[in-house]
């Protein structure tokens, strides 16, 4: 590994995408495979310039399918790896995101969302992939997805994403968007020694001592041997037993595996879920939002305060797993939820599910291409208290 | 013979051999998983035998050898080798292998998969990995159809061949794999049928020793799904066909080695050139990057 | 072995000999070893393994020259040979 001089620290005026790349580098990412796609290309461009400086590898693959698989392969060679894309590429990565989930491969997948569906609005903001982030791959599984509201937070959450991916041995998604990705703001990068980096959990027994790749620790996460260490591991996308061997004919293997894959995240939600709560102490109306939409809701909330409306904000920094308990608790004392998001209703459905009919949930939709106008959100807040 | 249980757990009946005698390849096999799933008369096991035999002679550090395979009958190879092995998704073994190799250049990466997986669904990754001359060995067992799913046509199925998805005869022109590999940039291209085991073993050895993208096509019987529909009900029938119609022509122009239904099978080493690998080219960039 | 003339190195060359081992449970009765053994050492037995296949049987042990073709061509890793010394046979 060449010298670490390449890892930045200090205060910068930096684009969101670039901050994402630097966050990955600070987190120890030394492999990036990607494919050009607006509005995520700047991440690939930054990686193309920076990886050779720090002994890492940049490769531009032939498509997003190749990118996702190269990232999985690199992770299984013992290197922290990431890819970045937008809606169309995100859709192409779903099957192999599933392979990463099934084989418990730590890696990070950044989705700089843009207007959809299909080619949609390539250069413009949207948040229409939130349910795809949750259920895009097939089959039963849990996923971790973070949503930054600023270049600084995109930098910070990229580090957190890598740490969570190693801690839980799973791919982690960063669901950002064209706005945050393309805006330029101050980004403070702490000196490396102040950044906590979660190392990969390695086997505690040497090769040849009966190590089995999928015997989990108490927290349901198995220590991870990688290729080239002499453990002679077998890794398959097929349902597998603790040895990693295909186990598709006895159904106990599927029961055990799926329960573990799901519970290893679900039972540790509190360790994963991060939210920001503003003015919720006496809030009658709770604005629930995430990413750029949450930021755009700050001004309408201020305007509503001036009109004497008690409104607060629950900003979801971790979108998946969903902050169910938080919503249920707020539903006990608030009169309504207002959910501004740049899609036609996705996270709003989760809020409705958790509010369970106790209070109304007012979606503030947007088809994509722009952030909400303040009066759109303000109107919803006013309706909530009317 | 004890009453076989419903699902006979195929434990190895005490072999004729004395206890300390073991099949010479068992060290590199997950023998606890044998007998394997491939049909009687299928050639994948033989292709795997030649690979393991080549490995045993190669002097490579077996802890650094990694086998990556995709989905399909041949895709199950990864599950039977006692090496670091990855059974990835359909068509994506090569990009997965690319990630492995570039992240840890010490690894000797071998992609071992079928024709459907590598060049039909996985064709885009195949041509690009060859174009980039990524240092890996690709062994493609070509049985001219999608065997695992019951015998459908793929990109290597000859014109006129009957499969479950070409019930009136295949009307698509197939790829010529050596030509495809050579044209894309592979530095080593060879084709052998599973009948010519010694030559196949040597070709695999040469491919393993070659720096850059090396490709070995292994023409193999698929009695259950392809042979059966083309008057080759058993693997032995197909081997006899190879015996009659296999023509060894080292250095043949890859363009001239198409395989037609009922036609000759040109075998041999067609390409063996030197070219800087992806990593060779990459290495030069690092200095420039650090200097800036 | 039949020669049209006596090889000059006849005295020094030792024809190898192999002992064949068959793992009957692995065999799937494809018949490749029997068909392609150059010395016709093997024959399909009428015995069954637990999957109902007929494994090969050694019928001409002395003829085996340990060429290893059976071991290489077997798709099931079910047959192999071990080279053995034997008294020099005059040809």
Please name each of the domains of chain A with its CATH number.
3-191 (3.40.50.970), 276-385 (3.40.50.920)
Residue B29 counted as domain residue: no
Q: Which residue of A has its CA nearest to B93?
A: A69
Distance, CA of C53 to chain centre? 19
Q: Which residue of B has its CA nearest to C56?
A: B16
3-state secondary structure of B255: helix
3-state secondary structure of B192: strand
Query: From the list C22, C25, C82, which residue is nearest B10 (CB)?
Result: C25
Question: Do B87 and A76 count as a contact with CB atoms less than 8 A apart?
Answer: no
Question: Do C72 and B50 count as a contact with CB atoms less than 8 A apart?
Answer: yes
pTM beyond cutoff 0.90? yes
Q: Do A250 and A221 touch, CB atoms closer than 8 A?
A: no
What CATH number is given to the structural domain containing B271?
A: 3.40.50.970
> Looking at the complex, does the CB of residue B37 fall below 8 Å from at least one CB of chain C?
no
Total domain count for chain B? Answer: 1
In DSSP terms, A338 is beta-bridged to: A287, A362
Residue B16 counted as domain residue: no
Question: Do C50 and B12 count as a contact with CB atoms less than 8 A apart?
Answer: no
Give the separation between CA B188 and CA B250, rounded to whole angstroms: 12
**What is the pLDDT at residue B17?**
46
Q: Specify the residue for token string 């049928």.
A: B193
Question: Do A62 and B100 count as a contact with CB atoms less than 8 A apart?
Answer: no
DSSP A54: G
Pick the residue of B31, B100, B128, B281 with the most A CBs within 10 A to test the interface with A by mutation. B100
> Looking at the complex, does the CB of residue B6 fall below 8 Å from at least one CB of chain C?
no
Distances (CA, A) of A272 to A82, A144, A276, A373: 19, 8, 13, 31
Shortest Cα distance, chain B CAs vs residue A227, angstroms: 6
**What is the pLDDT at residue B274?**
97
Q: Which chains touch C (3 or more CB pairs under 8 A)?
A: B
pLDDT digits (tens, 9 = 90+) for C10-26: 788 888 999 999 999 99
**What is the pLDDT at residue A251?**
86
Question: Do A99 and B124 count as a contact with CB atoms less than 8 A apart?
Answer: no
**What is the pLDDT at residue B10?**
44
Q: Which residue of B has its CA nearest to A245?
A: B79
Query: From the list B29, B195, B239, which residue is nearest C77 (CB)?
Result: B29
Q: Do B113 and B121 touch, CB atoms closer than 8 A?
A: no
**What is the pLDDT at residue A1?**
35
Buried b (16+ CB within 10 A) or exposed e, B146-178: bbbeebbbbbbbbeebbbeebeeebeeebbbbb
B112 contacts in chain A (CB < 8 Å)? none
Residue B172 counted as domain residue: yes
Q: Which residue of B has its CA nearest to A230?
A: B63
Query: From the list A67, A77, A237, which residue is nearest B89 (CB)?
Result: A237
Res B105 pLDDT > 60: yes
Buried b (16+ CB within 10 A) or exposed e, A336-371: bbbbbbbbeebbbebbbebbeeebebbbbbbebeeb
pLDDT digits (tens, 9 = 90+) for C29-57: 999 999 999 999 999 999 999 999 999 99
**What is the pLDDT at residue A5?**
54
Shortest Cα distance, chain A CAs vs residue B175, angstroms: 20
Asked if the ipTM is above 0.90, the reply is yes
pLDDT along chain A (386 residues), means of 10: 66 98 98 98 97 95 98 98 98 98 98 97 98 98 98 98 98 98 98 95 93 96 98 97 94 96 98 98 97 98 97 98 98 97 98 98 98 98 95
Give the separation between CA A231 and CA A220, rounded to whole angstroms: 20
Residue B159 counted as domain residue: yes
Range of the domain at B180: 36-291
Q: Specify the residue for token string 């096999």.
A: B29
| Chain A meets chain B (3+ C-beta pairs below 8 A) | yes
Res B292 pLDDT > 80: no
Residue B23 counted as domain residue: no
Query: From the list C23, C48, C50, which residue is nearest B15 (CB)?
Result: C23
Res C89 pLDDT > 60: no
Residue B182 counted as domain residue: yes
Res B67 pLDDT > 70: yes
Distances (CA, A) of B243 to A71, B194, B222, B238, C35: 43, 10, 16, 9, 12
Question: Do C80 and B24 count as a contact with CB atoms less than 8 A apart?
Answer: yes
Q: Which chains touch B (3 or more CB pairs under 8 A)?
A: A, C
Residue B214 counted as domain residue: yes
């Amino acid at each position: 590994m060449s010298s670490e001089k390449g890892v930045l620290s200090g205060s910068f005026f930096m684009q969101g995408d670039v901050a994402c790349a630097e966050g990955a580098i600070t987190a120890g990412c030394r492999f990036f495979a990607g494919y050009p796609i607006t509005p995520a290309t700047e991440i690939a461009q930054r990686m193309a310039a920076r990886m050779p400086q720090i002994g890492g590898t940049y490769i531009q693959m032939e498509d997003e399918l190749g990118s996702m698989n190269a990232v999985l392969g690199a992770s299984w060679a013992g290197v922290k790896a990431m890819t970045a894309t937008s809606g169309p590429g995100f859709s192409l990565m779903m099957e192999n995101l599933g392979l990463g989930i099934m084989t418990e491969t730590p890696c990070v997948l950044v989705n700089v969302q843009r207007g959809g569906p299909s080619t949609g609005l390539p250069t413009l903001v949207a948040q229409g992939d939130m349910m795809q982030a949750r259920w895009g791959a097939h089959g039963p599984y849990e996923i971790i997805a973070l949503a930054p509201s600023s270049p600084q937070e995109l930098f910070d959450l990229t580090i957190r994403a890598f740490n969570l991916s190693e801690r839980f041995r799973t791919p982690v998604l960063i669901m950002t968007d064209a706005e945050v990705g393309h805006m330029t703001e101050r980004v403070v990068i702490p000196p490396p020694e102040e950044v906590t980096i979660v190392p990969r959990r390695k086997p505690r027994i040497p090769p040849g001592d009966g190590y089995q790749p999928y015997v989990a620790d108490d927290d349901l996460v198995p220590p991870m041997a990688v290729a080239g260490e002499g453990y002679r591991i077998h890794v398959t996308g097929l349902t597998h037993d603790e040895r990693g061997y295909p186990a598709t004919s006895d159904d106990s293997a599927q029961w055990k595996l799926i329960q573990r894959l799901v519970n290893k995240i679900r039972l540790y939600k509190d360790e994963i879920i991060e939210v920001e709560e503003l003015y919720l102490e006496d809030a009658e109306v709770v604005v629930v939002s995430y990413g750029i939409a949450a930021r755009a809701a700050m001004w309408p909330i201020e305007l509503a305060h001036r009109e004497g409306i008690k409104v607060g904000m629950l900003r979801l920094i971790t979108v998946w797993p969903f902050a169910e308990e938080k919503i249920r608790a707020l539903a006990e004392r608030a009169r309504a939820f207002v959910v501004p998001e740049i899609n036609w209703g996705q996270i709003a459905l989760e809020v409705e599910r958790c509010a369970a009919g106790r209070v109304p949930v007012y979606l503030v939709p947007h088809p994509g291409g722009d952030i909400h106008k303040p009066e759109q959100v303000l109107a919803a807040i006013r309706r909530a208290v009317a | 013979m004890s009453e076989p249980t419903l699902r006979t757990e195929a434990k190895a009946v005490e072999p004729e051999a004395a206890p300390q005698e073991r099949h010479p390849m068992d060290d590199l096999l997950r023998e606890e998983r044998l007998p394997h799933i491939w049909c009687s008369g299928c050639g994948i096991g033989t292709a795997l035998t030649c690979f393991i035999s080549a490995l045993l002679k190669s002097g490579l550090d077996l802890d650094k050898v990694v086998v990556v395979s995709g989905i399909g009958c041949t895709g199950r190879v990864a599950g039977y080798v006692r090496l670091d092995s990855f059974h990835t998704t359909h068509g994506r073994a090569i990009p997965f292998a690319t990630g492995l190799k570039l992240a840890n250049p010490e690894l000797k990466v071998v992609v071992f998969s079928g024709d459907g997986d590598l060049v039909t669904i996985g064709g885009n990754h195949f041509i690009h990995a060859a174009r980039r001359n990524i240092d890996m060995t690709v062994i493609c067992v070509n049985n001219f159809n999608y065997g695992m799913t019951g015998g459908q046509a793929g990109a290597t199925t000859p014109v006129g061949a009957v499969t479950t998805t070409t019930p009136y005869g295949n009307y698509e022109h197939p790829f010529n794999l050596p030509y495809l590999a050579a044209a894309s940039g592979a530095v080593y291209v060879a084709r052998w049928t599973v009948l010519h085991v010694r030559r196949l073993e040597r070709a695999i050895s040469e491919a393993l020793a070659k720096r850059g993208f090396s490709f070995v096509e292994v023409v193999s019987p698929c009695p259950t799904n392809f042979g059966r529909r083309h008057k080759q009900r058993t693997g032995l029938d197909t081997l006899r066909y190879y015996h009659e119609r296999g023509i060894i022509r080292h250095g043949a122009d890859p363009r001239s080695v198409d395989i037609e239904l009922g036609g000759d099978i040109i075998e041999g080493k067609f390409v063996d050139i030197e070219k800087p690998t992806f990593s060779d080219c990459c290495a030069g960039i690092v200095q420039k990057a650090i200097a800036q | 072995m039949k020669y049209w003339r006596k090889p000059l190195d006849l005295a020094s060359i030792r024809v190898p000999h192999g002992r064949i081992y068959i793992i009957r449970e692995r065999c799937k009765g494809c018949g490749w070893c029997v068909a392609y053994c150059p010395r016709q050492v093997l024959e399909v037995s009428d015995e069954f393994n637990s999957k109902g296949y007929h494994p090969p049987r050694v019928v001409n042990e002395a003829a085996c020259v340990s060429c290893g073709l059976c071991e290489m061509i077997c798709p099931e890793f079910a047959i192999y040979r071990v080279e053995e010394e034997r008294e020099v046979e005059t040809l």
